[in-house]
Amino acid sequence: MGTRFAAPASAGAPLGDGASVPVLVIGTGYGGAVAALRLAQAGVPVEMVEMGMSWDTPGSDGRIFPKVTSPDHRAYWLRTRTKAPVSNFFGFPIDKDVPRFTGVLDAEEFAGITVYQGRGVGGGSLVNGGMAVTPKRERFGSILPSVDAAEMYDTYYPRANAALGVGSIDPVWFETAPCYQYARVGRKHAQRSGFAWTFVPDIYDWDYMKAEQAGTVTRSALDGQVMYGNDAGKKSLVRTYLSQALATGRVNITPLHRVTTVSPAPGGGYVVRMEQINTAGDVVATKNVTAGKVFFAAGSVGTSKLLVKLKATGSLPLLNSEVGKGWGDNGNVMCGRANHMWDATGTLQSTIPCSGIDNWAAGGAFAEVAPLPTGIETYASLYLSITNTSKRAEFSWNAAANRVDLSWQTAWKQDSITMAKTIFDKINSKEGTIYRTDLFGVYKQWQDGLTYHPLGGAVLNKATDNYGRLQGYPGLYVIDGALIPGNTTVNPFVTITALAERNIERIVAADL
């Protein structure tokens, strides 16, 4: 039975100014968590720094995280107004003012796109829907062409799935569970239009989900918790890789620290400069730490931005010209359909999706049947599509503004919309239904301004060697989603985890 969510507090004292450590891992998401655990198991002490908080203390409402329908200061990373992906309801805007706080979800805005990312110990595992999908093997060559598919599917995908605690919904229970009525409606419509509908594995504790439905435990997925964190049933990294890493006694996590510079140290290794922040985002201290080896695991955007800045500003000038390139959005677009009154989707909806529509071979789209957990009957079906788009953007240093820019263009999403329409135009035609136009703005059928799945920016075997070693700097590694060039054909975190498992095994064997 699932236990209440509890993030690991830092295993020891926060990292001190002037400290010298064998290994520093920047970030506590999937890649960083894998690196920390496997290094610690090999006997190496590891310090991890995390920009976000350690989410281990309930608020005044008794919950660690807020609900999707009632975001508060805990919901967003240093914003004063929420920025929900579904921004409108029945045409009315639903975003609201919130106090500025180091909340769990970052809606980072670039020209042309908003990138949603997790902030806190556990990274993106805190805020995703948990869909743990291994890509079909025949598609792997298009995802990571320089990686041996056989070793990934024989060794590293199974290792990642086991360590992440991946499981699947009970298909018998699914047929009658009120909280998945919306998914059954999605199945009916997909299959009536001739599409392949499939269950999708997940990292939720499915026994806990059944108990939530039965009313015998505190509800989390059945009480609107997902995008701003989940208190109980979800097996985030906090409950898997990170708890194992901390249990070795060789890993320490320092939250609310933001790395600003990495540069070669005179006596070998690297000087890492970082800012300690408070929950209002104010810098309260600056620290210099020397590390023998540094793993960049700040996520696709965080790692790419940092490397681009360090190359351009002269801290790491030997980084090659591939740094910052090959960034993509995993082809993410969202849409909603307005169903007929006889196709009610349910007032109680689990926030954890469990199924998808696969039209990749014919139309270049895979769509997860997503919840719209408002607590009222909406007669709406919501979908997040992953599409086979080839559009790739580049991060670059904007010296005048002292920031990193991204060259993404919103117009590029038209390819993704066209691919997703191969599914939903056909379903609408068959069912006599229409697209909802009230969810993403006024008269807007598609949410084309976001991604949940940032990938690339420090691509494997281009910006790095074939195991994530940064060119020109022995002891510097990239081990997160920045390595993957823009698309995984499915939700990406299992692939990020499996690739990290592959790379760290080689690094431990060859470099330590």
Which two structure tokens, joined as six digits, stand for 50? 């995390």
Give the pLDDT score at 11. Answer: 52
pLDDT surpassing 90 at residue 4:
no
- Residue-wise pLDDT for 222-252, tens only, equals 999 999 999 999 999 999 999 999 999 999 9
Distance in angstroms (rounded) separating the CA atoms of residues 233 and 212: 9
Distances (CA, A) of 93 to 87, 88, 118, 335, 384: 6, 4, 24, 17, 20
Distance in angstroms (rounded) separating the CA atoms of residues 140 and 142: 5
Which domains are delineated in the chain?
A: 20-511 (3.50.50.60)
What number is the average pLDDT over the span 402-409? 98
Give the pLDDT score at 12. Answer: 75
Distances (CA, A) of 314 to 26, 163, 308, 322: 20, 39, 10, 16
The one catalytic residue in 368, 394, 501, 505 is 368
73 tagged catalytic: no
The secondary element (H helix, E strand) that includes residue 271 is: strand 270-277
| Range list of H helices, 193-345 | 206-214, 241-247, 299-312
> pLDDT confidence of 90, banded at 50, 70, 90?
confident
Q: What percent of the chain has pLDDT over 90?
A: 96
Which DSSP symbol is given to 483? G
| CA R_g for the chain | 22
The closest alpha carbon to 493, from 290, 209, 203, belongs to: 203
Q: What are phi and psi of 31, to 5 degrees?
A: -65, -45
> pLDDT confidence of 463, banded at 50, 70, 90?
very high
Angle between helices 30-41 and 493-511 (to 10 degrees): 30
- Residue-wise pLDDT for 269-316, tens only, equals 999 999 999 999 999 999 999 999 999 999 999 999 999 999 999 999
Give the pLDDT score at 5. Answer: 38
Distances (CA, A) of 213 to 173, 178, 217, 333, 354: 11, 8, 9, 30, 15
- Residue-wise pLDDT for 436-449, tens only, equals 999 999 899 999 99
453 tagged catalytic: yes
Distance in angstroms (rounded) separating the CA atoms of residues 465 and 239: 31
> pLDDT confidence of 91, banded at 50, 70, 90?
confident
Q: Which amino acid is at 491?
A: N
The closest alpha carbon to 416, from 382, 441, 440, 450, belongs to: 450
3-class DSSP state for residue 502? helix
Contact 404, 305 (CB under 8 A): yes
The one catalytic residue in 50, 189, 257, 453 is 453
What number is the average pLDDT over the span 394-403? 98
The closest alpha carbon to 480, from 108, 2, 36, belongs to: 36
What number is the average pLDDT over the span 130-140? 98
- Residue-wise pLDDT for 346-382, tens only, equals 999 999 999 999 999 999 999 999 999 999 999 999 9
Q: Which residue has the tokens 């999937």?
A: 30
Looking at every residue in the chain, the average pLDDT score rounds to 96
Give the pLDDT score at 3. Answer: 37
Which two structure tokens, joined as six digits, stand for 90? 């029945």
Distances (CA, A) of 461 to 322, 366, 396, 501, 503: 10, 27, 20, 16, 12
